[in-house]
Every structure is written in C-alpha cells, then in structure tokens.
Structure 1
Amino acid sequence: MPDVTLFLGGDVMTGRGVDAILPAPGPPELREPAVRDARDYVALARAASGPVPRPAPPAWPWGDALDLLDELRPAVRLVNLETAVTGRGGHDPAKAIHYRMHPDNLACLTAARLDVCALANNHTLDFGPVGLTDTLDALAGTGIGTAGAGRDAAAAWTPARVPLGCGRDLLVWSVAAPSSGVPPAWAATDGSPGVAYLPEVSAASADALAGRITAVAGPGDRVLVSVHWGGNWGYEVPPGHVDFAHRLVDAGVDVVHGHSSHHPRPVEVYRDRLVLYGCGDLVDDYEGIGGQEAYRPQLRLLWLPTLDAATGALRRLRAAPVRSRRMRLERAAPDEARWLAGLLDGFGPPFASGFAVDGAGLLTLRPR
C-alpha cells in the first residue's frame, strides 16, 4: 500500500477580525478588556501591512496556502478550529476572549477542503452549548468531520474517521487539557454537550485514552491524537507532555498533533512516530499586535508528514512555511524559511534535528 501524506494545521481562528472581513460578518461587539470591536483587529493589520479588502472573498485568509496544498496533495486535511460557528448563544461570562464566525461564512472553511476539525480547545464553547451545537450542525452540513466535542460525552470521545483506502481508516481523537485554558465546566457529560476534557496531562489520562483507542481502532487503522495543551508563548515542553505522548505512541498512536502555542514548538520522532508538541497558529487576526516579536509569530507552518500507510511509521516530514500579511497567508521568503528550520533544529535531545530547506522552499526532515 502506498504511503499517505497528511496536512496538519495548528490553530484556525476565523472569528473576530477574520469574520469581520468575510462577506457575512456577525456582530462586531467584543467583551475584551482592551478591544470592544472586532474591526479594530482589522485596523491593526491594515496599519501593519497595508490594505485588507472588506468584504474579502471566503478563501482570502488561506491565501497561498491553498495553492501549496494543491501542489503537495495531502490525502487528509486536519486543523484545530478555535472558533464557534454560530449566530446565537451568549458570551461565556467566565471567558475574556470569545471567537465566533457567522454560519454564512462557512465557505471560508470549505475553501480549504478540510476533512476534519479538532474541536477540543478553549474557544469551542465561547458561546455556550447552543454555540457548540450550531458549530457541530454547521460543519456536518458541509461534510467536514469533527472530533473532540459533541452533544454528550460519548459523542465528544468518538473519533472522526477518514477512509485511506484498502480497508484502512485514519481515526482522529481530539482532547483538551486545562493548561490551554479550557474551563473544567466545559467537559462533556452523559447529559450535556462539551469537549473531550483531560483533567490533567498524566500517565493515568494517557492510559485511559489509550484504552479508548484500543477499543475502537482496527488492526489496519492509523491513529492520530490531536491535543490542545500548554500556554501561548515559550518553547519549553513540560516533561509530562513528553511522557504523555510517549505513552500514546507505546499504545499504538501514530501521530500526536499538539497545539495551543502561537508559534511552533519542538518536534520529536519517537519510535518512528511523529510528535508535534506545538503546531503554532495558522489563521488568525493577530497581525499588528506587538509584544512577542522575538517569536516571529507572523510565520506559520503547514505540517505535511508522510506515513507508511501499513505501519504508521514516519517516512518523512515536510512543512510549508508561510507568513500572515494583510490577514492572508502568503509564501514565506527564503530567509524566513531558513529561520524556521534553524529554530526547529536547535532544541536539542530528545527533539528532532536535521531540518533543512529544500529546493522548493519546504522544511524537510527525514527520520534517522
């Protein structure tokens, strides 16, 4: 059976300023301490980089990323969607930041031809259970699969399933940890909607998740766990996260797809399996916000691992470098690609090294 290439994206936040430039924006009012109108984020981007169309076509936020994906032809496309898709529901009073995209802007997501959205994160219930159920219905109506949230606990812990051919499926679980800002009250229960919530990142929670996986995955299936964990800034990976990822791989998981940080974090290849500890942001409205320039958060990566479809072993890892400009992703410059390769190469053991920029401008890593 041939190898299979995946596209794994980090955080996709199509609410707030992004929603404000799309053809059918929702109400712009915000409840944030410093910003009260979503259009102010658009103004920051314009001041930083130049004109931003309004309305912009639905595909605008993805920009050159769509051409890159067409060129690289991944078999499965997966992102962490950190935005409720709803025009209803009230702002969660326990949250300072809220994201929602109007359902009439769903073409922004379908433009990327996504197969699965991971939903276990700290913005899925920004507009309460009503907002969550609207999100589930909206994505289902487009054919985009979901994982990590549901109308009850059973649904939230049920994996998305994507056919790979030859009787094999990719099973996607999505889980969220409190370290990423997920309120404990958002945990799905037998009688209420919510997310697949990990009370802690620990050996016990990894083993419990591994038990769920073993009960569902068939012998030929490939398994990916998408996990929202950790803070927004910094490169440190807690030892507990490393142990959690290793336990999942030891139990048969092929890819650990971590996210929450606003920039890429280290990569590990453990027992020939890929662990992304932090994919970084992909689509958002952060352009023009100062204070964290050392991380170069305007630079993003489209992660493209190629797996042995029969065993799940990592054959190679490519990552397409892009940058956010005018609220749109564009191809990164050669020096930006080299900076990202050097960043990922410099974390030291146990993390992966050997990243290089190939002739097409992609970051590449071949397991040793």
Structure 2
Amino acid sequence: MTGRGIDQILPHPSDPTLHESWVLDARDYVTLAERTGGPIPRPVEPRYLWGDALAELERAAPDVRVLPLETALTTSEDREEKGIHYRMHPANVASLTAIRPDVCVLANNHVLDWGRRGLNETLDVLHAAGIRTAGAGRDATEAQAPAIVERPRGRVLVFGFAHLSSGIPPSWAATAERGGVNLLHRLSEDDAVSLARRVRSLKGPGDIVLASIHWGGNWGYDVPNEQRRFAHALIDRAAVDLVHGHSSHHAKGVEIYRDRLVLYGCGDFLNDYEGISGYEDYRSELGFMYLPRLDGTSGRLRELRLVPTRIRNLRVNRADEEDTRWLSAMLNREGRAFGTGVERLADGTLRLAWR
C-alpha cells in the first residue's frame, strides 16, 4: 500500500486531500507515523520504502518477485464513492521499481479507487516501467490472463483474483466491454474447474503456477472453510503450485497441502497505519518476506524461509528479537490446525516445518 500517507513522503506527492470520515489530509498519516517512530526525512529517495528488504532480496536472489499492489498509480480525479482511497502519483513509480518486482497483482479493493481511468493509467505506468500485471485489466480477457515470467528452467504463471469477501464492489468486475478486476463471486468447485481449463491450456513442462487471491476480511486469524476448500481445489483440479492469499492486514497461518504451499493471508508488507489504534493485538506492523523454494519440475515445496519484518517510519525494517519471537509464536499457534510450525535459524530468519 504505497499510496496515501506513503505517497506524501515521496518526491512527487499527490494532492493530499482525502474524503475519509476522520482524516481529510493524507499528511496526517505521516504525522501519526512520526509520533510513533520519530522524524521521517522528506522527500525520501526511491529505495527508502523498502529498507532492509533490499539487502535480503539480494541475498536470496529469487527467480521471481511478486508484489500485491493495493494502490492506483494515477492523477485521476474520478473518485469512487467509498470510504478510503489509495493513490500514488505516477511520477513516484521509481519507488516501486526500486524493489524490482516482476509482477504486481492488482486484484484488490483499491485499484479502482479512482475509477476506470485510474485503473487504465495504473496499467500504463506499470507496463511502461517493465512491471507485469495480473488480476486486473482493460477488459475481462486482460484481467483473467496470467502474468508470465520466463526463467531458465521454465516459466512462472501468476494468476490474480479477488473475491467479494474482501469488500470489492460487484461493479468492479471486468467484462468484455469494460475494465476492472478478475472478480470471483463465489469460491466454488465450478470456479476451480473453470480456472483449471485456463491453466491446463497454458501450463507447459517445467512451468510453475501461482494463484494470487485477495479474499476475506482485514482482521482475524480464522480461515473460512470455503477458502480452504477452494485452495485445495485449485491444487487438485487446476494444477496450481502455490496459493498466495492476501487482504488481512496481518499474517495468518500457513498450510502445506499435497506438498504445495498455501498462504491464507500474508499481511501488509508496507502500509501507513503506524500510530493508528484499534487492532494492536494483531500487530499489523509485523510481517514477513516469504521466500519459498519450489521443485522446478514438480512444483512441490522444498523450503519456505520467512524473513521477519516491521514497518517503522513508513519503511520495511528487519524485526528485532522480541518481535521475531512474537511472530514465531503466532505462526506456531495458527499453524497447529494445519500441521505446520516454524524453527528459528541462526541468521534470525524462520523456516517452515510441516508434517
């Protein structure tokens, strides 16, 4: 979520005017963050937001970097009638390219905050910057199409979806005539079968398929049965190798199903919530960099390493010892139902264990 308050510390901030119930100026979110973590330099250079994550990514050297983006990159003033609007000025796109994402998943409840003109500009800006997109498009065909990343041993196909349970208006669905998100009205067997037909028509030998889904509410550790059934159906029927769930503002439990990784909620890697009270028990400022290693032939999970992070001063930082212990305990508690837990490694990262 690189819009709103975060956009205000970048070199080219958007108009700070907001239309929220309580906050009318995006700079107020910067003030709240500074009260919590101290002064933030302004404007920040493009790499600032990602902080310690940049060195971690250099060490990990992942084949593919996938980033859900809950922000429109636009100057559009076609504001939707909703409570919260996220916008990042297109001239700040260097702050996204600094982390070198291969794919931005746009299936979420903020990408059309500034109308379809805002969505179209977002697509143009990202594509011009060399970033592939999934989960939204100028019509249903583009929204449903996977982002495809070539790698030496095959391709990675990233499909993006959003479900109504994440608060997306039904009118945001992409159709043959209008742009929008790749919206699932249900999480049904029929939906999984429909996806299976698309995946099997595209997946070749050595290809890895990732299904990235924006679903569920913002708070709570419970994993609804329909989410779990749908995740399993994607693996069973659609040959999906990794289910990447997001929407919750905090990380949730992890499951391994048939040797495939299911992330039901990854939390917010970056947001402008510092200093906002109300859900402190969930520790939404804490999260992870998820670094899965898959078998390049079968798609089975070989290892999941998690780098504990903390948002402070509107940037990503390595979590300290106390925060890492909290995150470890949470994953062990929430993973018990799935037969998963974590072990601490010497470098302070975590590794998933499962049975």
TM (norm. structure 1) is 0.94
CA gap of 1:300–1:348, structure 2 versus 1, over 3 A, is: closer
Specify the alignment match of 1:268 in structure 2. Answer: 255
Do structure 1's residue 117 and structure 2's residue 112 form an aligned pair? no
Specify the alignment match of 2:201 in structure 1. Answer: 215
Structure 2's unaligned 5+ residue stretches are none
Do structure 1's residue 144 and structure 2's residue 131 form an aligned pair? yes
What pairs up with 1:137-286 in 2 under 5 angstroms? 137-166=124-153, 168-251=154-237, 252-286=239-273
Distance in 2 between the 1:31 and 1:98 partners? 8
Specify the alignment match of 2:352 in structure 1. Answer: 365
What pairs up with 1:324-335 in 2 under 5 angstroms? 324-335=311-322
Distance in 2 between the 1:301 and 1:358 partners? 15
TM (norm. structure 2) is 0.98
Specify the alignment match of 2:35 in structure 1. Answer: 47
Verify the 8 A CA contact 1:175 1:197 in the aligned structure 2: yes
SS of the residue corresponding to residue 65 of structure 2 reads strand
2:310 is matched by which residue type in structure 1? R
Q: Deviations for 1:163-199, whole angstroms, at most 9, x for unmatched residues?
A: 1213x10000000001101110000000111110001
Residue 205 of structure 1 deviates from its aligned partner by 1.8
Do structure 1's residue 73 and structure 2's residue 66 form an aligned pair? no
Q: Deviations for 1:295-335, whole angstroms, at most 9, x for unmatched residues?
A: 11111110010000111000010110110111111111122
Residue 210 of structure 1 deviates from its aligned partner by 2.0
Structure 1's unaligned 5+ residue stretches are 1-12
Aligned-pair identity (%): 53
Specify the alignment match of 2:280 in structure 1. Answer: 293
Specify the alignment match of 2:24 in structure 1. Answer: 36
2:138 is matched by which residue type in structure 1? R
Q: Deviations for 1:261-283, whole angstroms, at most 9, x for unmatched residues?
A: 00001100000000000000011
Residue 337 of structure 1 deviates from its aligned partner by 1.2
Would you say how many aligned residue pairs link Structure 1 and Structure 2? 354
Residue 349 of structure 1 deviates from its aligned partner by 4.8
Specify the alignment match of 1:105 in structure 2. Answer: 92
Specify the alignment match of 1:3 in structure 2. Answer: none
Distance in 2 between the 1:57 and 1:175 partners? 32
2:329 is matched by which residue type in structure 1? G
1:235 is matched by which residue type in structure 2? Y
SS of the residue corresponding to residue 344 of structure 1 reads helix
Which shifted more, 329-338 or 251-260? 329-338
Counterpart pick for 1:86 among 63, 74, 81:
74
SS of the residue corresponding to residue 225 of structure 1 reads strand
Residue 347 of structure 1 deviates from its aligned partner by 2.2
Residue 71 of structure 1 deviates from its aligned partner by 1.4
CA gap of 1:170–1:56, structure 2 versus 1, over 3 A, is: same
Specify the alignment match of 1:62 in structure 2. Answer: 50
Do structure 1's residue 337 and structure 2's residue 324 form an aligned pair? yes
1:190 is matched by which residue type in structure 2? A
Distance in 2 between the 1:118 and 1:347 partners? 26
Distance in 2 between the 1:127 and 1:352 partners? 42
Q: Deviations for 1:105-157, whole angstroms, at most 9, x for unmatched residues?
A: 00110000100000010001011110001000000011110001111100100
Distance in 1 between the 2:205 and 2:176 partners? 29
Distance in 2 between the 1:349 and 1:334 partners? 23
Distance in 1 between the 2:104 and 2:339 partners? 27
Higher relative contact order (CA 8 A, sep 6+): 1
Specify the alignment match of 1:6 in structure 2. Answer: none
Distance in 1 between the 2:150 and 2:278 partners? 43
Distance in 2 between the 1:154 and 1:297 partners? 35
Distance in 2 between the 1:366 and 1:254 partners? 18
Distance in 2 between the 1:352 and 1:61 partners? 35
Which shifted more, 277-286 or 325-334? 325-334
Residue 38 of structure 1 deviates from its aligned partner by 0.3
1:54 is matched by which residue type in structure 2? R
Distance in 2 between the 1:101 and 1:352 partners? 40
Distance in 1 between the 2:35 and 2:143 partners? 41
Specify the alignment match of 2:14 in structure 1. Answer: 26
Verify the 8 A CA contact 2:253 2:335 in the aligned structure 1: no
